[in-house]
Structure 1
Amino acid sequence: MHQREGASSGRAPAGDCRCLVLDTASLTFIDSSGITALLALWHRLGQRQGALILAIPEAPLRQRMHYLGLDNIFCITATLDEAITQARALGVLTRPRTAQTEADHT
């Protein structure tokens, strides 16, 4: 799992971010260090009454998350559109940001 600084350091994204929608379309496997990073993000966002929503289009990866019981912790959807809809329904999505908009801010 490739991680940005926020995920790998266990810190929530900067600013007033309360919701992180993670698109895992290019991810086919996640190891224990990746899961640990996700749990750290989930915890930090939870401290802000926020949410971590995972868009996992790969069925085998969704199954792995289910077998590990992580679907009881994380909000997991099959598509990015579903994840964004879920974030809006939770009322924590302020403005969508993508990898491109993040790159534009650095």
Structure 2
Amino acid sequence: GTEVAKESSDIIILDDDFTSVVKVVRWGRSVYGNIQKFIEFQLTVNVAALVINVVAAVSSGDVPLNVVEVQTIFILFCAIYSNAAIASSFKKLVVMLHETSAEV
């Protein structure tokens, strides 16, 4: 009976402590929030680079940044700065005050 219950359950508490469920929910919401922050940052940087290149190409007829320069900027800003910003944001108790979304 126990194995059937474990296989059909969504969450298995191994340490007989319900506070571990709260910890898991807090970590899950923090990870979900960090993924949202990362996607917002990526979209912002990509749109800004696109606008700069399009405006410069239309106004001067020449593209100001070549492919290597754009890739260097993306590596520096996107990989280093966004990961550092997300890593430095610690999990807060505030995430537990938000209601759950039905789409997850």
Q: Same fold (TM over 0.5)?
A: no
Larger % of helix: which? Answer: 2
Higher relative contact order structure (alpha carbons within 8 Å, sequence separation ≥ 6)? 2
Larger % of strand: which? Answer: 1
Of structures 1 and 2, the larger Rg is shown by 2
